[in-house]
Structure 1
Amino acid sequence: MKLANLARPASTALFSGLLSLACLLTPAASQAERLKDLTSIQGVRQNQLIGYGLVVGLDGSGDQTTQTPFTVQSVASMLQQLGVNLPPGTTLQLKNVAAVVVTSSLAPFAQPGQTMDVTVSSMGNAKSLRGGTLLMTPLKGADGQIYGMAQGSVVVGGVGAAAGGSKTQVNHLSVGRISAGATIERALPTALGQGNVVLLELKDSDFSTASRVVDAINRRFGSATAQAQDGRVIRVQAPENSGERVAFLGALENISVTPDQASAKVILNARTGSIVMNQAVTLDACAVAHGNLSVVISTEPVISQPAPFSGGQTVVGQRSQIDINKESGQLLLLKGGASLADVVKALNAIGATPQDLLAILQAMKAAGSLRAELEII
């Protein structure tokens, strides 16, 4: 086994791209950010809406009604509401209709009469929604109340064609979007604080950042204006008058605060072998042995043919050969690193594949050498 050290030149360029990216993304010092980017105001949030509707006008690319009976039921119910009664026992064979689910988000402080974008997704076996028109669809919230009505032409960002058994498709055809396709019919009350108190919530819980936010607010508006309840929620004294409160929150959002350095974290994607680390990851001194064992089995046909006029028969057999190859293990001494660049260099010196590095990083974490939180996605 060979004993190497971190100063030895890297044998592969596996992490050269990651190293370059790390050098570009690692700041020399933390930069100040606005409270608008670091926090949100409790109670100011979006609300998801959902609805079920029909898309018509498709050029033969709608649901196959024999396999999606709910589409036929929806069409029959719609026609009945419009005053059209179908004879009993009528079987509809529709090709230009598709059942869809319509989704959207109700923005905070949205008022009746305003519009919002909607996404239309096929829930049956329609081949394409391209060129279709969404019929009037009520959009409901989690409480079952109707907050919007959607209708309009569906725009699909894809195209497809099929002929003679051949098929081609670009992008996705069963999902579309309607810009300003829904009208808000009901406003949702938004509680902007209680009394003279507004609660700020950090997007990432951190006690150090919360303390810095409190100090910055108190310097700007006076002592005792803000007080941290925990590592995420900050209690702020605000004017009770609505006009003064809006101006106060506008000034509050533009206060600059330098957030504390994020905790060390390594994200591992087991499916793709991707590894992403932040600048806080450090590595304690450790030794890593890396080697691969490969087993190769090859089989070749062997033909045994008898001599002429011997009366024998030709026999076909197989001959197998098994080769076991074990690469020479390499024991590398990785010195403690104080930055992301040092960690990347250490991993690059091992010469392992991304899949191997998943196991190596987990072993380093278990041994206490990797000073970071491992998260596998």
Structure 2
Amino acid sequence: MLAGLMPAAADGVGAGAWTRIKDIAQLQSARDNQLVGYGLVIGLNGSGDGLRNSPFTEQSIRAMLENLGIATEGGQARSKNVAAVIVTANLPPFVQSGTRIDVTVSSLGDATSLQGGTLIMTPLRAADGDIYAVAQGPVFISGFNAEGAAETLTQGVPTAGRVPNGAIIERQVEARFNGDTSLTLQLRNPDFSTAVRVTDAINAYAKDRYGKRLAAEQDARTILIHRPEGISAARFYAELENIAVVSDTPAKVVVDERTGTIVIGQDVKIAKVAISHGSLTVRVSETPTIVQPEPFSRGETAVEDNTVINAFEEGGQVAMLDGPDLETLVSGLNRLGVKPSGIIAILQGIKSAGALQAELVLQ
């Protein structure tokens, strides 16, 4: 069983989840680099940029045609089948020249859709200004835009898409990974307890495998590992990345008030509190009445307003809430029978009262 492969938890270590080092940390030298470029998408079915509203698109068309040996002086382009776009991509570590990567294409002008378009040759540059890749290919989008005489339907984002394997690496990022005598390991979620546990786990393995301690924690995120002689950096890290440790995280409650999403961490605890929560509802009903004049009179038909206002309050009972662990806390919140918006208000009130033993993150 998997549990049989895991070492016993150290003193003071909670019942956290066993995770591999490769899942919670990454090498500093194994980082991505961002690429960006400006290009044109052609072949659109009349859904491209309006050249009057997007003059840079017309300038780009002229420059492209002149580079292809076609003179455009004195003419005025009126094509609606071209859209100016920004092309972005992530350059993975250790890639070689000739490798293909995915790119993302986003409209820059007032195009309504990139469906059916083709990205023409676009150089992609890094922050140093050098060209590292060239992108080209058909654009695939996940949304669509349908328009009629009286109604328009849009689903997803038709003005952004992807070109799978659309960029070819022309220049690789220089890396001396195998020549490094030390490796810098960085935690994705910085935490002092996790950094110490990772260091201890690596040293326990290194002591048994190489006869000496090789790792030292630097701070809550960084761990420095010395590579022993006689083994490549790639093979050495391959041995370390599958070591299992118990990761630790601070207690947090994440609240997104726009969507009503609430995420409660495992270590969140609430001191015993009494809560009263109710909602006041005011209903206004308008039932206008038509009043007719007497026969053969000089009166006029009129509308008589009739308004009924009702106010009632739901809930309001006082409930006890005590959450020494996550299961008890969730059961207590569900027992109150309130909606997510009410739970958000309750959590904010508990935090203000000092009974929430966690960080409340509002998004």
Normalized against structure 1, the TM-score is what? 0.83
Look up the match of 2:362: 376
Look up the match of 1:85: 71
Distance 2:280 2:180 in 1: 69
Say if 1:128 and 1:173, in contact at 8 Å, map to a contact too.
Answer: yes
Is 1:246 matched up with 2:234?
A: yes
Is 1:212 matched up with 2:200?
A: no
- Per-residue deviation, 1:166: 5.5
Please tell me the residue identity of whatever aligns with 1:221: A
Q: Deviations over 1:145-186 (max 9, x none)?
A: 111111122233455555555655554432232222111111
How large is the RMSD of aligned CA atoms in angstroms?
2.5
Residues 322, 192 of structure 1: alpha-carbon distance in 2 compared, 3 angstrom cutoff: same
Is 1:75 matched up with 2:61?
A: yes
Look up the match of 1:12: none
Normalized against structure 2, the TM-score is what? 0.86
Question: Which range moves more in the overlay, 289-298 or 68-77?
Answer: 289-298
- Per-residue deviation, 1:328: 5.6
Please tell me the residue identity of whatever aligns with 2:96: Q
Say if 2:319 and 2:336, in contact at 8 Å, map to a contact too.
Answer: yes
Distance 1:368 1:191 in 2: 51
Distance 1:165 1:300 in 2: 32
Q: Deviations over 1:42-88 (max 9, x none)?
A: 12210111111111222333222222221111000111122222232
Please tell me the residue identity of whatever aligns with 2:318: L
Say if 1:195 and 1:240, in contact at 8 Å, map to a contact too.
Answer: no
Distance 2:301 2:17 in 1: 81
Q: 1:44 aligns with which of 30, 34, 47?
A: 30
Q: 2:283 aligns with which of 272, 276, 296?
A: 296
- Per-residue deviation, 1:356: 1.5
Q: Of the two structures, which has the highest relative contact order with CA contacts closer than 8 Å and spacing of 6 or more?
A: 1
Is 1:344 matched up with 2:330?
A: yes
Distance 1:137 1:366 in 2: 54
- Per-residue deviation, 1:37: 0.9
Q: Deviations over 1:289-318 (max 9, x none)?
A: 122222233333355555556655555332
Look up the match of 1:263: 250
Say if 2:48 and 2:110, in contact at 8 Å, map to a contact too.
Answer: yes
Say if 2:118 and 2:137, in contact at 8 Å, map to a contact too.
Answer: yes
Please tell me the residue identity of whatever aligns with 1:95: K
Distance 2:21 2:57 in 1: 49
- Per-residue deviation, 1:252: 1.6
Look up the match of 1:57: 43
Q: 1:365 aligns with which of 351, 355, 361?
A: 351
Distance 1:328 1:122 in 2: 50
Unaligned runs of 5+ in 2: 1-13
Q: 2:219 aligns with which of 209, 215, 230?
A: 230
